[in-house]
């Protein structure tokens, strides 16, 4: 077996390079906007990001490595459901578990209010994101025809049930 430090061995990242999750701050908006512009054909304008952060009833988080923002999730609470509004990871950090880690965190923070489900829309062609959501228990729940204005692509609506109150009380999911 290769030892740490020997060519071919895998070095453990130093703790300061571990991804960590924290609440999104107004000072993150420029970085979040840059990531959104890098990955989305219809990025949110900065003023929408500011407005979203100013609202109550949201779970808005970023993933940081060192001082760099490498991903974000915006989630808003409606009367009967959490709506996952936007999820993105900086492309140079894709497939390292960051999207999954952020969504697990959102689900855990949101379960402080039990019984509310989660919904989201995703482009029908976005197989990677759909695979991620399915892994986290989201199921297909209909479609919104021509939802995306850049190319008239349909959105797949996905749904994940909320966590029942008694399960939250017992610390189960």
Of positions 13, 45, 57, 97, contacts ligand COA by CB under 6 A: 97
89 interacts with ligand COA by CB under 6 A: yes
To the nearest whole angstrom, how small is the minimum distance from the Cβ of residue 14 to ligand COA? Answer: 21
**What is the C-alpha R_g of the chain?**
17
88 interacts with ligand COA by CB under 6 A: yes
* Closest by CA position to 13, among listed 88, 65, 68: 65
**Rounded to an integer, what distance in angstroms lies between the CA atom of residue 89 and that of residue 122?**
15
39 interacts with ligand COA by CB under 6 A: yes
Task: Decide if 122 contacts 139 (C-beta within 8 A).
Answer: no
**Rounded to an integer, what distance in angstroms lies between the CA atom of residue 135 and that of residue 123?**
17
**Rounded to an integer, what distance in angstroms lies between the CA atom of residue 25 and that of residue 141?**
32
126 interacts with ligand COA by CB under 6 A: yes
Distance of CA 2 to CAs 7, 10, 11, Å? 8, 8, 10
Of positions 69, 107, 122, 163, contacts ligand COA by CB under 6 A: 122
20 interacts with ligand COA by CB under 6 A: no
To the nearest whole angstrom, how small is the minimum distance from the Cβ of residue 99 to ligand COA? Answer: 3
95 interacts with ligand COA by CB under 6 A: yes
**Rounded to an integer, what distance in angstroms lies between the CA atom of residue 86 and that of residue 66?**
23
Task: Decide if 80 contacts 57 (C-beta within 8 A).
Answer: no
Cβ closer to ligand COA: 77 or 96? 96
Pick the piece of the chain touching ligand COA (CB under 6 A) from 8-16, 20-28, 128-136, 138-146.
128-136
To the nearest whole angstrom, how small is the minimum distance from the Cβ of residue 49 to ligand COA? Answer: 15
**Rounded to an integer, what distance in angstroms lies between the CA atom of residue 53 and that of residue 74?**
9
149 interacts with ligand COA by CB under 6 A: no
Of positions 77, 96, 119, 164, contacts ligand COA by CB under 6 A: 96
To the nearest whole angstrom, how small is the minimum distance from the Cβ of residue 65 to ligand COA? Answer: 12
């Amino acid at each position: 077996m290769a030892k740490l430090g020997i060519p071919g061995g895998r070095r453990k990242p130093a703790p300061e390079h571990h991804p960590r999750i924290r609440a999104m701050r107004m000072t993150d908006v420029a970085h979040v906007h840059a990531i959104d512009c890098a990955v989305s054909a219809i990025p949110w304008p900065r003023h929408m990001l500011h407005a979203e952060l100013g609202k109550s009833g949201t779970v808005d988080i970023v993933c940081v490595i060192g001082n760099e923002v490498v991903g974000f999730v915006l989630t808003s609470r409606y009367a009967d459901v959490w709506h996952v509004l936007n999820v993105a990871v900086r492309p140079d950090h894709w497939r390292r578990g960051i999207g999954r880690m952020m969504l697990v965190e959102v689900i855990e923070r949101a379960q402080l209010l039990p019984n509310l489900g989660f919904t989201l829309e995703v482009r029908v062609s976005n197989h990677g994101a759909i695979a991620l959501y399915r892994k986290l228990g989201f199921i297909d729940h209909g479609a919104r025809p021509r939802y995306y204005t850049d190319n008239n692509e349909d959105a797949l609506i996905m749904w994940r049930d909320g966590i029942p109150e008694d399960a939250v009380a017992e610390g189960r999911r």
